[in-house]
């Protein structure tokens, strides 16, 4: 059983994916962490995320053990991840890992919840369930600001919103694997939903909640 969850930043897909995985006893993979790990490696090495060859070299030497590094959640790492994810060669290098995880989940889990931006369209086009989680940009920016201000209280909403809009533009308009709902994806708008509401709506789609 493969559940694919796609959507833009701060729409709530990460929290939702982890909660679904916990509820069903499935393995969970945040594919964005793979790209963040590549971006982080480049940051630490002083490399340029916009350089395709440098980014590809980092992707080929990616150590999955580093996917829990707290620095992956830093804003600068997120910016670098958005840039490296636009390189087709980087995406190809990480594709096999993602598909392998989905088809053969670790620890003999009976299913996988895989989240990202092209899971339902490219990574797992045959997923049993596809969800596309979205929310208004203003709401997503406010959510991200609340998260980031825990580390940097000086951040401003306008700056976070502008960066998020730029990232949306890159993700939705890149030539390779752009962010878009799969034709058979269920759209889940979390603009007016908290995590409990989003979880209940998702579980109804998945079929894990009795009416």
pLDDT computed for residue 209 by the predictor: 46
Find the largest Cα–Cα distance for the chain: 54
pLDDT computed for residue 151 by the predictor: 86
| Domain membership flag for residue 111 | yes
Domain containing 67 equals: 2-201
Residue written as token pair 């998945």: 206
| Domain membership flag for residue 172 | yes
pLDDT computed for residue 104 by the predictor: 95
> Which pTM was predicted?
0.87
CA atoms within 13 A on the CB side of 13: 30
pLDDT computed for residue 56 by the predictor: 96
In three-state form (DSSP H/G/I as H, E/B as E, the rest C), the secondary structure along 116-147 is ECCHHHHHCCCCCEEEEEECCHHHHHHHHHHH
Among 65, 69, 128, residue whose Cα is nearest residue 102: 128
Sequence-distant (6+) residues with CB within 8 A of 109 are: 25, 26, 27
| Domain membership flag for residue 164 | yes
CATH number at residue 47: 3.40.50.300
130 is written with which tokens? 């596809």
pLDDT computed for residue 208 by the predictor: 56
User: What's the total number of domains in the chain?
Assistant: 1
d(CA 54, CA 44) in angstroms, rounded, equals 13
141 is written with which tokens? 């920016």
Cβ contact 14:202 at 8 Å = no
| Domain membership flag for residue 210 | no
d(CA 92, CA 22) in angstroms, rounded, equals 29
Per-residue pLDDT of the chain (211 residues; tens, 9 = 90+): 999 999 999 999 999 999 999 999 999 999 989 999 999 999 999 999 999 999 999 999 988 888 889 999 888 998 899 899 889 999 999 998 999 999 999 989 999 999 999 999 999 999 999 999 999 999 999 999 998 898 889 999 999 999 999 989 988 998 888 999 999 999 999 999 999 999 999 999 998 543 4
| Domain membership flag for residue 211 | no
pLDDT computed for residue 65 by the predictor: 81
| Domain membership flag for residue 208 | no
d(CA 27, CA 18) in angstroms, rounded, equals 9
Report the b/e string of 117-127 with b at 16+ CB within 10 A: bbbbbbbbeeb
| Domain membership flag for residue 123 | yes
pLDDT computed for residue 143 by the predictor: 95
| Domain membership flag for residue 206 | no
């Amino acid at each position: 059983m493969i559940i694919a969850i796609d959507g833009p930043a701060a729409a709530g897909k990460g929290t939702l994916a982890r909660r679904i995985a916990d509820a069903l006893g499935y393995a969970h993979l945040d594919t964005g962490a793979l790209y963040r790990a590549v971006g982080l490696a480049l940051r630490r090495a002083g490399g340029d995320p916009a350089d395709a060859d440098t980014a590809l070299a980092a992707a080929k030497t990616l150590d999955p053990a580093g996917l829990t590094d707290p620095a992956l959640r830093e804003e600068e790492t997120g910016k670098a991840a958005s840039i490296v994810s636009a390189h087709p060669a980087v995406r190809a290098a990480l594709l096999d890992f993602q598909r392998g995880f989905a088809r053969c989940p670790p620890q003999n889990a009976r299913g996988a919840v895989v989240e990202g931006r092209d899971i339902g369209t490219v990574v797992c086009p045959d997923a049993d369930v596809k969800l596309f989680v979205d929310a208004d940009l203003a709401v997503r920016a406010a959510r991200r600001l609340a998260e980031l201000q825990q580390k940097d209280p000086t951040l401003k909403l306008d700056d976070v919103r502008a960066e998020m809009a730029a990232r949306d533009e890159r993700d939705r308009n890149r030539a390779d694997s752009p962010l878009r709902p799969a034709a058979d994806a269920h759209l889940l708008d979390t603009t007016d939903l908290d995590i409990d509401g989003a979880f209940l709506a998702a579980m109804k789609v998945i079929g894990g909640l009795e009416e």
